[in-house]
């Protein structure tokens, strides 16, 4: 018997997809009362149930659907397809492959959900921002964009071993850290789609591999410019007001591209830092002064919330632990200002750093292809980053497979982090468990890694490409939850660097042209030249904003201590609260471990466990109930509520 949901029914966004067979009807019936949007299959059986905001604006978080003959085509998320184009596509599509081919030409970030002649295809985005989960319910496969939807349908319980993986810093160890914490649920990898037949049987099919990086900068920059322009236009066209971050080069580029849209006013926000060496404010003022149509707002650093603020009572229903929950008040400070300025969509530079700064691991491949260029770059990076040359040589000699690298990680889980002068030229940064993890937690993580290693496949055979893509997916992961929080205040977050077309445009460029000694994001600089003022492109570097985490921890130590008095993680045997309290109470600058990274992960898990047992953050119905599309019956406001 499915238990009453504690999470997804109060979330502003979710959907589930059902195969076109009678056996799926009981599962659909259990979800129907929580939904305000329903699409039927051509047969009339339930196809897609969910909850979306009521606004049908271009680029909004909506379900845009069309029917033609035996086809129902839905794009769920932020997309630039017009209703007429979608109707035309649905009328001519005869296979799920044709549906995917059409969707690949639509700009934005969205799920593809298609029902064609009884077959169902569900596909997310390559960055993992739009996720797909699957589970067997009463003998048929049901898909959803949130894991807790399927946990409700199946009655699945939590897997403490998988929860322990979220105590890694960084929690980046694919495929293990991508799997849902609930037992019995499947995660469809971002480069796969789920295909269901008429009997409700499903299989995962790979549809993408990284493109060959062959383009020089001169050819790659125009392609990236076109992809970014289309990505921004998909969200901004037809909107009188949008908002944007205006700080680093990534957000500056998005802000300027948005300002080029006719009849769109851009409200830009820059959060000042107390660090006098952080020059983002200076660059922001220069940009705003040179770009017409940008209304610039500076948020003084004393008006920004601190890290670790407003946490003890947090009960937001996420479907997995959210690593940036410790910093949520700072993020929401900007999106709430955006909503107050009349913006229903806020552009953010999430994923720009991870995507545009090519991994140093590319140097391994470059050594074989172009030894002289690789040697010159290695020397430059070693000098700039104070890399130990002995470590560089040892890593270059090692030719471990991804499976071997995963197995080797188990031997250093409880070690201090590697020194900064040790380069990362392999499959990624070896993660560490938080220092207050119990021996049982460490054993569980080792067991899971060793179980998965013999079958694990990297994103690419090239470590650099693998590192680039998994880094983007790591950046996209918290955006799902931060976007959920922002949407409660009326503003959807948009992250064009996480779009499929942008990812493909970047990966097609030679990595040595994306990252060169002495230059900062050369591919992006050339791509936006002319759209971004020249004075905002020259001399830029990456600012490391000083948010004073030590000071924030001192200020909020007492409030955080209340979370460890009856810790749910401790009840599960995963952390030692005495060790945690001791480390947080002592001198903060003497720790060999990443204290704040570990706290982020621990707070994410602790607050998430508490959210499962407490009341939802809000029982407010979201938006106006949507009419069922394509011949269905409207779901009333009363029926939509749990």
Distance (Å, whole) CA 119 – CA 475: 33
Q: What pLDDT score does 193 carry?
A: 98
Residue with the two structure tokens 């699957």: 134
CA dihedral 23, 26, 31, 35 (to 10 degrees): 70
Other beta carbons within 10 Å of 543:
17
| Segment 301-323, tens digit of pLDDT | 899 999 999 898 888 899 999 98
Is residue 506 situated within a structural domain? no
pLDDT tens for each residue of 114-153: 999 999 999 999 999 999 999 999 999 999 999 999 999 9
Does residue 5 carry a pLDDT above 80? no
- Reference 250, options 26, 21, 494; nearest CA is 494
Contacts of 401 by beta carbon, 8 Å cutoff, 6+ apart: none
CB 53, CB 78: distance < 8 Å: no
Give the pLDDT score at 313: 82
User: Is 351 part of a structural domain of the chain?
Assistant: no
What pLDDT band is residue 546 in, cutting at 50, 70 and 90? low
| Amino acid 550: pLDDT | 85
Residue 65's pLDDT band (cuts 50, 70, 90): very high
Distance separating alpha carbons of residues 541 and 543, to the nearest angstrom: 6
Give the pLDDT mean for 540-552.
69
- The pair of three-digit structure tokens given for residue 566, joined into one six-digit string: 């009856």
**Into how many domains does the chain fold?**
1
Share of the chain above pLDDT 70, in %: 90
* 467 vs 625, more confident: 467
Residues 332-368 as b or e (16 or more Cβ within 10 Å = b): bbbbbbbbebebbbbbbbbbbbbbbbbbbbbbbbbbe
List own/partner pairs for 583-589 with CB under 8 A and 24 or more apart: 583/435, 583/436, 584/553, 584/557, 584/560, 585/557, 588/550, 588/553, 588/554, 589/550
Q: ∠ CA 292-250-594 to the nearest 5 degrees?
A: 145
What per-residue confidence (pLDDT) applies to 623?
A: 31
Which neighbouring-strand residues pair with 202?
196
Q: Which residue would you say has higher pLDDT here, 582 or 193?
A: 193
Lowest-pLDDT range of 12-26, 273-287, 437-451: 273-287
- Integer CA distances (angstroms), 78 to 130, 324, 496, 505, in order: 10, 23, 10, 19
CA 334 to chain CA centroid, nearest Å = 19
Residue 438 lies in a domain: yes
Q: How high is the pLDDT of residue 323?
A: 87
Residue owning tokens 């900064």: 420
pLDDT 10s digits, 232-270:
999 999 899 999 999 999 999 999 999 998 889 999 999
Asked whether 537 and 525 are in contact (CB, 8 A), the reply is yes
Could you tell me which residues come within 8 angstroms of residue 90 by beta carbon, excluding any fewer than 6 positions away? 66, 67, 68, 71, 72, 73
What would the mean pLDDT of 9-25 be, rounded to a whole number? Answer: 92
Give the pLDDT of residue 57: 47
Sorting pLDDT into bands at 50, 70 and 90, what band is 542?
A: low
Range of the structural domain that residue 450 is part of: 362-465
Q: Average of pLDDT values for 487-494?
A: 91
Mean pLDDT value across the chain: 88
Nearest Cα neighbor of 160 from 568, 498, 496 is: 568
Residue corresponding to tokens 């069922």: 628
* Start-to-end Cα distance in the chain: 17
In which band, very low, low, confident or very high, does the pLDDT at 639 lie, cut at 50, 70 and 90? very low
The first and second tokens of residue 222, run together, are 């125009």
* Length reported for the chain: 642
Residue 135 lies in a domain: no
Considering only CA atoms, which of 483, 53, 56 is closest in space to residue 238?
A: 56
324 versus 222: the higher-pLDDT residue is 222
Q: What angle do CA 130, 468, 59 make, to 5 degrees?
A: 30
Find, among 271, 281, 282, 280, the residue nearest to 307 by Cα: 271
H/E stretch holding 597 reads: helix 595-613
Q: Reply yes or no on whether the pLDDT at 621 is more than 50.
A: no
In this predicted structure, the answer to whether residue 642 has a pLDDT above a threshold of 70 is no
Average confidence (pLDDT) over 556-562: 89
Within-domain flag for 340: no
- pLDDT (tens digit per residue) in 100-110: 999 999 999 99
pLDDT of residue 624: 26
Residue among 219, 199, 239 at smallest CA distance from 21: 199
Q: Is the pLDDT of residue 211 over 90?
A: yes
Answer yes or no: is 386 within a domain.
yes
Q: Collapsing DSSP states into helix, strand and coil, what is residue 573? A: coil
Confidence of residue 87 (pLDDT cuts 50, 70, 90): very high
Distance (Å, rounded) from C-alpha 343 to C-alpha 60? Answer: 12
Is residue 379, in this structure, part of any structural domain at all?
A: yes
Whole-number CA gyration radius for the chain? 24
Residue recorded with tokens 């990252």: 515
The pLDDT-based confidence of 592 (bands split at 50, 70, 90) is low
Task: Compute the C-alpha angle 21/22/23, nearest 5°.
Answer: 90
CA distance 481 to 502: 22
3-state secondary structure of 79: strand
Question: For the packed helices 595-613 and 577-585, what is the interaxial angle rounded to 10 degrees?
Answer: 130
Position 367 pLDDT exceeds 70 = yes
Angle at the Cα of 245 from the Cα atoms of 242 and 246, rounded to 5 degrees: 115
Inter-residue contact 351 to 496 (CB < 8 Å):
no
CB atoms within 10 A of CB 461: 13
Rounded Cα distance, 106 and 628, in Å:
24
Range name among 264-278, 331-345, 622-636 with the lowest pLDDT average: 622-636
Question: CA 492 to CA 306: how far, in whole Å?
Answer: 23
Q: Does the structure show a pLDDT above 80 at 545?
A: no
Cβ–Cβ < 8 Å for 141, 120: no
């Amino acid at each position: 018997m499915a238990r009453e949901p504690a999470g997804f029914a109060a979330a502003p966004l979710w959907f589930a997809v059902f195969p076109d067979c009678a056996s799926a009807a009981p599962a659909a019936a259990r979800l129907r009362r929580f939904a305000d949007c329903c699409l039927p299959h051509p047969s009339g059986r339930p196809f897609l149930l969910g909850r979306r905001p009521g606004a049908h604006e271009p680029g909004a978080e909506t379900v845009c659907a069309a029917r033609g003959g035996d086809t129902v085509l839905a794009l769920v998320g932020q997309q630039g397809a017009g209703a007429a184009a979608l109707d035309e596509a649905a009328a001519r599509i005869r296979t799920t492959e044709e549906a995917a081919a059409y969707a690949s030409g639509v700009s934005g970030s969205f799920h593809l959900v298609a029902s064609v002649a009884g077959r169902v295809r569900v596909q997310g985005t390559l960055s993992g921002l739009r996720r797909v989960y699957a589970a067997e319910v009463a003998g048929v496969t049901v898909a959803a964009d949130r894991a807790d939807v399927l946990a409700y349908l199946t009655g699945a319980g939590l897997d403490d071993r998988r929860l322990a993986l979220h105590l890694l810093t960084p929690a980046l160890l694919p495929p293990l850290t991508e799997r849902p914490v609930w037992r019995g649920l499947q995660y469809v990898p971002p480069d796969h789609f789920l295909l269901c037949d008429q009997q409700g049987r499903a299989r995962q099919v790979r549809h993408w591999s990284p493109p060959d990086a062959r383009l020089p900068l001169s050819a790659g920059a125009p392609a990236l410019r076109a992809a970014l322009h289309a990505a921004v236009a998909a969200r901004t066209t037809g909107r009188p007001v949008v908002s944007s971050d205006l700080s680093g080069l990534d957000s500056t580029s998005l802000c300027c591209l948005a300002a080029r849209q006719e009849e769109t006013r851009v409200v830009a926000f820059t959060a000042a830092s107390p660090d006098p060496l952080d020059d983002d404010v200076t660059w922001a003022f220069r940009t705003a002064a040179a770009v017409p149509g940008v209304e610039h707002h500076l948020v003084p650093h004393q008006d920004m919330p601190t890290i670790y603020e407003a946490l003890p009572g947090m009960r937001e229903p996420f479907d997995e632990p959210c690593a940036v929950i410790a910093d949520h008040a700072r993020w929401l400070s900007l999106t709430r200002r955006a909503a107050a300025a009349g913006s229903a969509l806020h552009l953010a530079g999430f994923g720009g750093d991870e995507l545009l700064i090519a991994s140093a691991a590319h140097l391994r491949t470059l050594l074989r292809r172009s030894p002289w260029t690789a040697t010159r770059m290695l020397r430059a990076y070693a000098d700039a980053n104070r890399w130990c040359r002995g470590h560089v040589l040892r890593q270059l000699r090692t030719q471990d497979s991804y499976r071997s690298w995963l197995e080797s990680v188990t031997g250093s889980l409880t070690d201090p982090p590697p020194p900064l002068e040790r380069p990362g030229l392999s499959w990624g940064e070896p993660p560490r468990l938080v220092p207050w993890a119990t021996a049982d937690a460490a054993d569980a993580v080792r067991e899971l890694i060793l179980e998965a290693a013999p079958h694990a496949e990297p994103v690419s055979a090239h470590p650099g490409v693998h590192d680039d893509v998994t880094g983007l997916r790591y950046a996209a992961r918290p955006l799902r939850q931060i976007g959920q929080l922002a949407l409660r205040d009326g503003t959807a977050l948009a992250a064009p660097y996480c779009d499929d077309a942008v990812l493909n445009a970047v990966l097609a460029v030679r990595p040595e042209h994306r990252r060169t000694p002495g230059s900062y994001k050369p591919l992006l600089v050339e791509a936006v030249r002319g759209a971004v003022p020249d004075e905002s492109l020259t001399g830029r570097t990456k600012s490391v904003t000083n948010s004073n985490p030590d000071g924030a921890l001192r200020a909020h130590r007492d409030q955080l201590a209340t979370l460890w008095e009856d810790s749910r993680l401790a009840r599960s045997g995963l952390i030692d609260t005495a060790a945690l309290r001791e480390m947080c109470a002592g001198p903060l600058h003497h720790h060999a471990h990443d204290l704040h990274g570990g706290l982020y992960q621990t707070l994410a898990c602790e607050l998430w466990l508490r959210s499962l047992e407490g009341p939802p953050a809000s029982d407010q119905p979201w938006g106006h109930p949507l009419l069922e599309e394509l011949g269905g019956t409207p779901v009333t406001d009363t029926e939509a509520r749990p």
